[in-house]
């Protein structure tokens, strides 16, 4: 698939999709054009049955993403428009129903909308040089995804420090509070680990992995009794698939399973 913009690079190899923010001269800031490219990539990840897992990163080595393009925001406001473009391109990844696992490989600044993008991924890993923060209040802007979800990902006290001060934390602190999964010395080792995680995901039955993700993202907003019922429905469907028979058979025969995704 070819995207409508070269500000987001997109390729697929061996059932892994690679999404790269490609505005290194602007710290990979999220313009409306970048948003459109990301939306196109995530929709393709969702809809292409050959894609099992995705890796998202930023080009240039200085930033995963420094967040919204505030120059564009200012221009929109000066023109009497809403600060942030709405519509299809503004939808968050979980709202799009992308239930395939997404890994954020973070190298450099991961702040504001960049951190919110990383938080929409399922697994986050970073280089030692990376920094994280939600500085929106310093520009009289309220965080979007981060405002509602950071307190669900890390201890509330740590989340409130980030939200109320606009300060950045380094990779060591991000790892300590559980915001990222692991820390790596440089970009090469970061991408090597992202690749290895993707390969680990590929060992699992695709429909089971997608059901687990959907249950967690959708079910967390339900009372427990409704969440259990929702999970039962999906797990019941997984139990009726060919892959549900293949898993135990492969184990008994001491061979790798041949997942069909059906």
The residues assigned a catalytic role are 116, 136
The token pair at 204 is 């699992």
Cα distances (angstroms) measured from residue 26 to each of 23, 106, 131, 157: 5, 16, 17, 32
Q: Tell me which residue of 159, 154, 61 sits closest to 110, measured CA to CA.
A: 61
Q: How far apart are CA 26 and CA 72, in angstroms?
A: 12
Both tokens assigned to 244: 């549900």
Cα(133)–Cα(140) distance, rounded to whole angstroms?
15
């Amino acid at each position: 698939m070819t995207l409508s913009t070269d500000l987001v690079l997109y390729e697929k190899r061996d059932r892994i999709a690679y999404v790269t923010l490609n505005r290194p001269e602007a710290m990979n800031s999220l313009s409306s054009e970048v948003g459109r490219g990301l939306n196109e990539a995530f929709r393709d990840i969702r809809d292409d049955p050959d894609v099992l897992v995705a890796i998202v990163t930023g080009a240039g080595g200085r930033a995963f993403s420094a967040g919204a393009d505030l120059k564009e925001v200012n221009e929109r406001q000066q023109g009497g428009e809403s600060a942030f473009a709405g519509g299809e391109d503004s939808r968050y990844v979980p709202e799009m129903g992308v239930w395939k696992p997404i890994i954020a490989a973070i190298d450099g600044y991961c702040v504001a909308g960049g951190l919110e993008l990383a938080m929409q991924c399922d697994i986050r890993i970073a280089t030692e040089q990376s920094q994280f923060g939600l500085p929106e209040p310093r520009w009289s802007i309220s965080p979007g995804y981060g405002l509602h979800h950071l307190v669900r990902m890390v201890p509330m006290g740590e989340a409130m420090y980030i939200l109320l001060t606009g300060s950045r934390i380094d990779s060591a602190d991000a790892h300590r509070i559980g915001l990222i999964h692991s820390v790596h010395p440089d970009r090469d080792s970061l991408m090597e680990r992202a690749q290895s995680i993707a390969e680990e995901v590929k060992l699992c039955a695709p429909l089971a992995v997608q059901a687990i993700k959907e249950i967690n993202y959708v079910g967390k907003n339900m009372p427990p009794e409704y969440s259990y019922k929702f999970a039962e429905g999906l797990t019941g469907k997984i139990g009726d698939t060919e892959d549900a028979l293949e898993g135990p058979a492969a184990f008994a025969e001491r061979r790798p399973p041949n997942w069909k995704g059906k």
